[in-house]
Amino acid sequence: MREHTLHSVEAMPSSGFCRTHELNILLLAALYAVSRVLSRSLAFNESLRDVLRILHDEAGLTCGMIGIVDPNSGNLTAHLLHHPSPVSNVQYEPGEGVLGLMLEKPRTMMFSRVADEPRFLNRLDIYQPELPFIAVPIKSGSNLQGVLAVQPGTPDDGLLEERAQFVEMVANLIGQSLRLSLEVEQEKSTLLEERDLLRRTVRHQFGFDSMVGRSATMRRVFDQARLVAKWNTTVLIRGETGTGKELIANAIHYNSPRARSAMIKLNCAALPENLLESELFGHERGAFTGAVEARKGRFEQAHGGTLFLDEIGDVSPPFQAKLLRVLQEGEFERVGGSRTIKVDVRFIAATHRDLETAVDMGDFREDLFYRLNVMPIFLPPLRERIEDIPEIARHLLGKIGSDQKRKLTLSDMAQRRLAAHSWPGNVRELENCLERAAVLSEDGQIDVDLIRFPSARERRAPQAQRSAAPAALNPVSSPNPDADIDDPNLSEKERVITALEQAGWVQAKAARILGMTPRQIAYRIQTLNIEVKQF
């Protein structure tokens, strides 16, 4: 809808058709330039300034002004102006002046001579009273977002209608671009909120305060990890399988200055050497059969962040030399490539192997060992921190209960039975044991009868396959061949008493039968109120 105020408009002369045709060609070229400007960038204010410049230079429409509707007050505020004068804090309330009327009823308004329009306020003090004036609404969908106002640079020549149609098309393009810009900003804002939420969640999840374990040995581990987290020092995390080496690596990264960048992980024992090299260093197109395109390796992906190499002790000596170069120089070449790539990566490695013995045997490079072993952190096995078992069990039951969507509880007798076990599989075995017990529990209450361990015969086969298993984990044969201390029908107290009876009540010997340390069996005797026989 348009509002016309035309004064002293004479009939178009015979040359009017030619002038209209020339104007249309001029405006079409300007419209094309405007569309290109609005489509090339999402820097919206910069694009709008270019639009006003095009209207002035190519379409002869001067003093371009874009006003924006304030969503809070509902007023129209002058936002951008193509004029030497700076934009002052000029506002129009609904119904105030020509531009204020557009807030009440958005429509195109044009005047052949602005001095003849009494509602025109000219608060910007830039418009010539003897010249025409055009103002059109800028909409995003059905919502009024602003106003585009211009003044033709010459007196009315009878083609004001054509110019108004052109300004409407420009305002429509601005509205579409504005809608796209708002959608992008909204999506960006949503992504930023999600990113910040994820960062807070990850920081909480991997924060040192949220880690389970209050024993002296674990407090020492947490203190070491907290201290080393703020530096770029290479860390070697050592401990048996299932002790939580990856959790410590996560805590170090997400509490370090590199937490905003990626933490890339790779289990070195999970891949053969030929695939391991491509996985870590990446490859160029055509480097081998199937390499149809170039691919970044884990080192490049971890640039600016942290690379966690689990089971580092399982890589071969030839590959160790390639790792050593990256650790020393921070550079490498992709498989099949010759270009040297430099990376800024913080290294955290982990292993369950005895690397000192591997160095003595010639299976692990001594120079690589010293390069990795800058800050060693030793994780104790679960059997050496039995006082942490109740807290770890509650934590794991919360996790299992969340998956099963119910509350799980553990009886005191069940806790004591857990504390009496030697845990060759450490925390991972404890989690499996509790998940199995939770499956068997109908009401969510886990009592001692649901805590079941593999018998000595069932455990013997996998233990034989663990070449590096500590001798302390292998149960010693019972002096009484007819007794089975791993009988699941025995209570925890009965099991300990049976071992003590078989050992002649020598606690150190009973500890070996149970696969425990003397300290552990002494703790069981105290907590189970077992009366020790004296001979």
Which tens digit of pLDDT belongs to each residue from 147-205? 999 999 999 988 999 999 999 999 999 988 888 877 777 888 888 888 777 766 766 66
pLDDT band at 455; cut points 50, 70, 90: low
256 or 206, which is more confident: 256
Residue-wise pLDDT tens digits, 255-277:
999 998 999 999 998 888 778 98
* Total Cβ atoms within 10 A of residue 236: 23
Residue-wise pLDDT tens digits, 431-444:
999 999 999 999 99
Task: Kindly report the pTM of this predicted structure.
Answer: 0.56
Of 148, 247, 261, the residue nearest 199 (C-alpha): 261
Angstrom CA distances, 447 to 174, 393, 404, 412, stand at: 70, 13, 18, 8
What is residue 291's predicted lDDT score, i.e. its pLDDT? 78
Buried b (16+ CB within 10 A) or exposed e, 38-71: beeeeebeebbbbbbebbbebbbbbbbbbbbbee
What is residue 1's predicted lDDT score, i.e. its pLDDT? 53
Phi, psi of 217 (to 5 degrees): -65, -40
Residue-wise pLDDT tens digits, 478-526:
334 345 676 766 777 888 888 888 887 888 888 888 878 877 787 778 7
Mean pLDDT (whole number) for 397-417: 93
pLDDT band at 429; cut points 50, 70, 90: very high
Strands (E), 96-166: 108-111, 133-140, 143-152
Q: Indicate whether 207 pLDDT > 70.
A: no
Lowest mean pLDDT among 2-11, 64-73, 89-98, 133-142: 2-11
Q: Indicate whether 282 pLDDT > 80.
A: yes
Residue-wise pLDDT tens digits, 62-85:
999 999 998 888 899 988 899 888
Q: All domains of the chain, ordered by start, with CATH?
A: 2-184 (3.30.450.40), 214-285+295-380 (3.40.50.300), 383-527 (1.10.8.60)
